Copies of this chain bind each other. A is one copy, B any other.
């Protein structure tokens, strides 16, 4: 009887304790889980240049190119094309031709983001394609980090000699520009994002203006 009563008390306390823990965990989530996850993903992303041997699943590759195409484009031109490179030989050649993408030789995946001038505006807005494909590239980086991958944006455009080498390697049509190569894989080791926040980079309402309290 006594043992039973003690057991009752212990069980009741355990129940209350677990319920309280669950309630607190839920409370923390309330309304801000998505906020935090999205913001955290942006804030903790870093350039990853060293990868494990693990291949990137096709499902994740699909998610990356879909994320790229979800970027906004000026006048909705969508002036882009994406070359998914998983072939070891092609990855090795990218590394050789563009030394700033040297890590591609030991990566399982690269996505070459291309600008498609056929689809870009032809008038005074013709150079907006650079901003469009930049947004697509940033989407790939953030999606990769969100999928547990690591990625690095290696610049090609406007270094014309680099663009031409990659264009030749990938047999791009003349109207297509090899804009950037995103090298991707599972990160080898722990990654730490740089803290690049500088208060002096922010003004309010006019250059040099302070926040209105």
Question: Which residues of chain A have a CB within 8 Å of any CB of chain B?
Answer: 1, 4-5, 7-8, 11-12, 14-15, 18-19, 22, 31, 33-35, 37-39, 41-43, 45, 47, 58, 63, 65-67, 69-72, 74, 76, 78, 80-87, 90, 124-125, 127-128, 130-131, 134-135, 137-139, 141-143, 145-148, 152-153, 155, 157-159, 170-173, 176, 180, 193-194, 196-198, 201-209, 211-212
Contact = CB atoms under 8 A, between A and B. Distances in A.
Protomer copies: 2
A127 B158 CA distance: 7
A90 B81 CA distance: 38
B15 A11 contact: yes
A143 B63 CA distance: 19
B128 A131 contact: no
B83 A70 contact: no
Nearest to A112: B203
A71 B138 contact: yes
Contact of A171 (B134, B135, B193, B208): B208
A38 B38 contact: yes
Q: 4 tightest A-B contacts by CB?
A: A38-B146, A134-B134, A11-B11, A135-B138
A203 B82 contact: yes
24 contacts: A8-B11, A11-B12, A14-B15, A18-B18, A34-B37, A35-B148, A38-B143, A45-B72, A58-B211, A65-B197, A65-B202, A66-B197, A69-B197, A70-B196, A83-B202, A83-B206, A84-B203, A85-B205, A87-B205, A90-B206, A128-B155, A134-B138, A170-B203, A173-B207
Given A90-B205, A134-B135, 19 more contacts: A4-B4, A15-B15, A42-B70, A42-B139, A66-B197, A69-B196, A72-B141, A81-B201, A81-B203, A81-B207, A82-B201, A83-B203, A83-B205, A125-B159, A130-B130, A135-B138, A142-B142, A171-B206, A176-B207
